[in-house]
Amino acid sequence: MRLLRDPLLWLILLFVALLLLMPYSGPLFARAFPQLDRPLYQQESFIRLALAHIRLVAFSSFAAVIVGLGAGIAVTRRAGKAFRSVVETLVAAGQTFPPVAVLALAVPVIGFGEQPAMVALLLYGLLPILQGTLAGIDAVPPTLREVAAGVGMSPRQILFKVELPLAAPVILAGIRTSVIINIGTATIASTVGANTLGSPVIIGLSGFNTAYILQGACLVALLAIVTDRLFERLLRRFKRE
């Protein structure tokens, strides 16, 4: 009974239900948008689009975590502190560079499909992860590092047994922000031939079809909400520990 009262479970069920029932919602959208000849997006299965969208976000976010976390750790070490401002500036520039511009530059080099979209999402998702890593490690009290060194821990042991465990909630918060941003940003990947939940949105915008836009936007928004709630649950567990 307690499981049935879980809001996250109901959000997940609602997302799955929308994916399964959307192909049968033609009469509903036809009544809502009588001026449209084709009110229901049928070029591709919504389930396939959702799976492709999740895969694109997962792979690009995983790459962003590896790069952002690695860079954050590197510039907080004694040997890398001199490069901290340079790394922060470069990553911030990647965040401010419009994803559409990244796609436009990447397509002639990489070609159409998911690859240029992954480059754009990687660049766009780095800053929150880097900032979370820096903030989390900086917040570790110096006395704890001194105590760890005093009992004979090596710098590597201090990093993995003291700094990263204490910084984990802040780092996870940065990853959470990055993933949510990329769920929304991944919709533009359809402009370069990648199949995502942005496909109905892009086609709807080009064809002035509001029903298509609504169908894609609702699914993307709900996916972002579900993901955000999952991260919130994970963060709570980290803080308890």
Q: Compute the distance between CA of residue 119 and CA of residue 125 in angstroms, rounded to an integer.
A: 10
**Integer angstrom CA distances of residue 204 from 41, 51, 57, 221, 223:** 9, 20, 22, 16, 20
Which domains does the chain carry? 54-196 (1.10.3720.10)
Q: Compute the distance between CA of residue 173 and CA of residue 137 in angstroms, rounded to an integer.
A: 13
Contact 128, 160 (CB under 8 A): no
Contact 101, 188 (CB under 8 A): no
Place of tokens 């500036």: 89
Residue 6: alpha-carbon gap to chain centroid: 24
Neighbours of 57 (CB within 10 A): 28
Tell me the mean pLDDT per 10 residues along the chain, length 241. 72 92 90 91 92 94 95 92 90 78 75 81 91 94 89 89 92 95 89 87 91 94 94 82 60
Digit-coded pLDDT (tens) for 190-227: 888 788 999 999 999 888 999 999 999 999 999 999 99
Digit-coded pLDDT (tens) for 64-88: 999 999 999 999 998 888 999 999 9
Contact 38, 213 (CB under 8 A): no
Residue type, position 230, single letter: L
Name the pTM for this structure. Answer: 0.90
